[in-house]
Structure formats: structure tokens, C-alpha cells
Amino acid sequence: MTGILDACALIAWLKEEPGADVVDDLLDQAEEGTTDLFISIINLVEIYYGFMKDQGEDRAREIIQTVRETAVKVIDTTDGAVFEEVARLKSTLKNFSLADAFGLATASVYDGVFITCDHHELAKFEGQVKIPFLWIRPAPQKA
């Protein structure tokens, strides 16, 4: 399997939130060479600034070092195909964040599964794109 990690999936793993076990299993598979895991540099920036904002710059650097020590490969999304797919997604999907567009475009170009937990932002797009999703935790129940 080729998996493209959304920032929230790695954040869940880093913070030991629900779904961390799914990401941990995928990271083990990547270490064993049975799965390829990637993250867009833009989604890695999301992780960095989130930890910087909440826990400071030193902690953010430690977190990024932790990610870099895994088998996750960081994709430079200035690649022409990813760049063009981001533009296509942003122009066709309404109320779609630029960071999510980079993650999904990377999954599209690398023919991968998009690994996420962000039901709130992404579930509405799942049927609109030809990219398989792997949800690391169930959708929240509506009250």
C-alpha cells in the first residue's frame, strides 16, 4: 500500500490520541518495507506550526525530528503534477483548505490512500474525488 498521511493522522500518533494505534501499525509496516508512507511538506508545516503555537518552537523542532526519524517520506509538492492537481482540486471543490488540497493532490499523484481523521473537513469530499480514504478513527456521532 502507498499511504499519504494527513497532518491530523500524524498529530494523533504524536499526541497518542484515538487512532494513534492505526498510524503506529502503518509506521511499523513502513519500517518493514510492506507499506510506503508519505506526507506533503505543506502538511508537515501544519504539524510544525500547530506544535509551535501550542508548545513553543523548541518542541515543534523536536516533533519534526521525531517524524523525520520514522519511515515517512516527505514530498516536496512543488512537483509539477502535484502543483497542477492542487490547483484542479481547489478550483473544483468548494470550501476546501489549501493544506487539504496538497494532501489529497499528493495522494492522487502518488496513487495512494489518504490517511486522515478529519471527518469534519474531509468527509464531504470523499465521494467527490477518486482518492481512497483510510479513516484512523470513526466519524463522531451526531447528537
pLDDT in tens, 32-70: 999 999 999 999 999 999 999 999 999 999 999 999 999
Instruction: Tell whether the torsion through CA atoms of 82, 87, 88 and 94 is positive or negative.
Output: positive
Helix runs in the chain, H state only: 7-14, 20-32, 41-55, 57-68, 80-92, 98-109, 119-122
**Residues ≥6 apart with Cβ < 8 Å to 30:** 36, 37, 70, 71, 72
Q: Compute the half-sphere exposure of residue 49: CA atoms within 13 Å on the CB side of its CA.
A: 6
The CA-atom distances, in angstroms, between 99 and each of 52, 69, 105 are 17, 23, 10
Phi, psi of 123 (to 5 degrees): -55, -35
Q: Grid coordinates standing for 57?
A: 518552537
Least confident of 62-66, 72-76, 102-106, 137-141: 137-141
Please give the average per-residue pLDDT across 60-83, as a whole number.
Answer: 91
Q: Could you identify the residue written with the cell 495522494?
A: 107
| Overall average pLDDT of the 2-30 stretch | 97
